[in-house]
Every structure is written in C-alpha cells, then in structure tokens.
Amino acid sequence: MAQSLRGTTGKGPRVWGLVAFKLLLVAGFVVATVFPLLWMAVCGLKEKNEVTRTPFKFFPEVFKWENYKQILDDPAFIRSIGITFTVAILFALGSLVVNSMAAYVFARLEFIFKRVAWVVVIGTMFIPWMTILLTSFLVVSELHLVNKIWVLILPAMASAGQIFFIRQFYLGIPSSLEEAALIDGASRFQVFLRIFVPMSKGIFVVSGMSVFLAGWNTYVWAVITMSDPKMYVIQQYLTQFRGERTTELGLLMAAATLSVIPVLILYFIFQRQIVQGARLSGFK
C-alpha cells in the first residue's frame, strides 16, 4: 500500500508526510463516495424510529433483516423491478442494434445526402429535452403507447450520442481489415456483421451499460407516461412509497438499497470497461 501510495514521487524525509496526506485524501474519496450507500443499506436494517434518533449511531441496536424481507415480499416491488428490468434490457439491446448500424453507415459508407443526414442526427443532441417533453408525450399518446413498457423503450432508443460514440470507435478500425473481406466478395452488410460487430464487444459493453443504466434510472419521463400504478418503474415505486408511508424510513431505505443492487453488480462486473468508456465519451 505504502509502496503504491508513494508512486513516482521522490525520496526523502518528507515522503512519509506526503504518503500520509495522500492516504488521507484517498480515504476521503472512498468515504465520500461509498458512505451514503453504506448508510442507506444500514438504515435499511433499522427500526423506523431508530433511523432519525439522536444522538446518531451508525449501527442499529438490532439488525432488522425483516425490512428487507418485507420489501421482497411486496408484490408491487417485485412487479416494478420486473418492469424496470425488462425495460432496461430491451432498451439497451434495441439501442445497440439501431445505433451501431447507423454508426457503421456514417463511419464507412458513402451515400447521397450523407452530410445532411449527419447534421440532422447530431443536431438532435442539442435539443433540450424539456422543450419537447410535452409534444413527445402528445406523440406517444397518439401512438397509444402510454402505460405500456414501449413508451420507456422506443422514444429514446435511437440516440445521436450513442451513434456518435460508436462511430468514433469504428473510425479507428483500420480499413485494411475489411478490404480483404471485400476482395473476397463480401457485401458491405456482411462486413458489418462479420468484422465490425465481433470487434465491438468492448464498445457494446460501454454503450449498452450506459443505456441500461439510463433505462433503470429513468424517472421523470415515467412519471408522465406511466400513470397507472400497476406500471410503475422502480424509481416511481420508491417515491410513491415515500409519499404513502412517510414514517417507514427503515423500510424505504431497504427498498432503495435493493433497487441499486442490480446496477451495482453490473457495474462491478464491467467496471474496467465502463471507466475506460466514461473517459472516452468525454472529450476525444
């Protein structure tokens, strides 16, 4: 640990002071990022009055696992998780298919009005969603999508941001790879399926995960379009729970904790790719 902390900085008597300072900073970052989640999980184990009791104590007097059990026994919770999971999976898969195809076309093919199409696609990124929130709702209600899971999937599936991101990656693939296949008589579409898609594993993980997360965490759009309590997504379940059972803070925290476990598991599985992708999506 100390070895690692010291890194590439020089030697000398000041080194240990520096190491201690860095260690303090590292601890600060760990506590600041992880503590709220830990606190949420621990509060989920508390009696309802214990959560807000003064003086404040970190650990509960008795670990009340019943909170978690009670939430898991709530059919509304299970239903919300099921709906949200279905939405997020279909959203991510659909987005990958639609946007990777578009990204390939913009990266590799020449066609009529290419520039116009590109400007239109990229232009959609600059439209603040608040300006079209209302008319988007008009459109989905005219298409009879309200209170159906598709209303959370279809509208944001085609995404200029994702097209741009995947295209960046495709532009970096050397064209010599596909030239061999083209000489062998493969079509442009086959090149996409046989060369680009297999090479896209990493980028698909990054893109798919960010879309999955967006689907899992969606709230405001769901508030507008999923008005039927039977169709509530998990975020709506949480705010509704808070509204109806205001004093049950222990239970609420248990529900919130359970709602983040799936995304945390996914995050830790794909952590390396996601962190890499976050940096790529930023500026370059």
Tell me the closest approach of the beta carbon of residue 204 to other proteins, in angstroms: 16
**Tokens of residue 38, six digits:** 């830990």
Distance (Å, whole) CA 232 – CA 34: 28
**Tokens of residue 90, six digits:** 């279909």
**Tokens of residue 48, six digits:** 């309802």
**Residues shown for the chain:** 284
Tell me the closest approach of the beta carbon of residue 147 to other proteins, in angstroms: 16
200 half-sphere exposure, CB direction, 13 A CA radius: 24
Q: Does 275 bind other proteins (CB under 8 A)?
A: yes
**Tokens of residue 243, six digits:** 């509204």
Q: Are 172 and 280 in contact (CB under 8 A)?
A: no
Applying CB under 8 A, the span of 20-28, 62-70, 71-79, 197-205 interacting with other proteins comes to 20-28
Range 24-43, binding other proteins (CB under 8 A): 25-26, 29-30, 32-34, 36-37, 39-40, 43
Using the CB atoms, write b or e for 123-142: b if 16+ within 10 Å: eeeeeeeeeeeeebbeebee
Q: Are 121 and 105 in contact (CB under 8 A)?
A: no
Range 223-262, binding other proteins (CB under 8 A): 235, 238-239, 242, 249, 252-253, 256, 259-260
Tell me the closest approach of the beta carbon of residue 87 to other proteins, in angstroms: 13
Q: Does 55 bind other proteins (CB under 8 A)?
A: yes
Binding mask 184-203 vs other proteins (x if CB under 8 A, - otherwise)? ---xxx--x-----------
Side chain identity, residue 61:
E
Tell me the closest approach of the beta carbon of residue 75 to other proteins, in angstroms: 21
Count Cβ atoms below 10 Å from residue 264 Cβ, excluding itself: 11
Count Cβ atoms below 10 Å from residue 64 Cβ, excluding itself: 19
Range 116-175, binding other proteins (CB under 8 A): 117, 120-122, 124-128, 130-136, 138-140, 154-158, 160-161, 163-165, 168, 171, 175
Count Cβ atoms below 10 Å from residue 153 Cβ, excluding itself: 21
- Closest CB to other proteins among residues 37, 78: 37
Task: Report the residue from 216, 225, 226, 254 that binds other proteins according to the rule CB under 8 A.
Answer: 216
Range 68-127, binding other proteins (CB under 8 A): 97-99, 101-102, 104-105, 109-112, 114, 117, 120-122, 124-127
Tell me the closest approach of the beta carbon of residue 25 to other proteins, in angstroms: 5
Q: How far is CA 219 from CA 118, 152, 181, 248, 263, in A?
A: 30, 10, 45, 22, 16
- Closest CB to other proteins among residues 147, 175: 175
Tell me the closest approach of the beta carbon of residue 97 to other proteins, in angstroms: 7
Tell me the closest approach of the beta carbon of residue 127 to other proteins, in angstroms: 6
Structure letter (DSSP) for residue 124: G
Total number of residues that touch other proteins (CB under 8 A): 106
- Closest CB to other proteins among residues 36, 82: 36
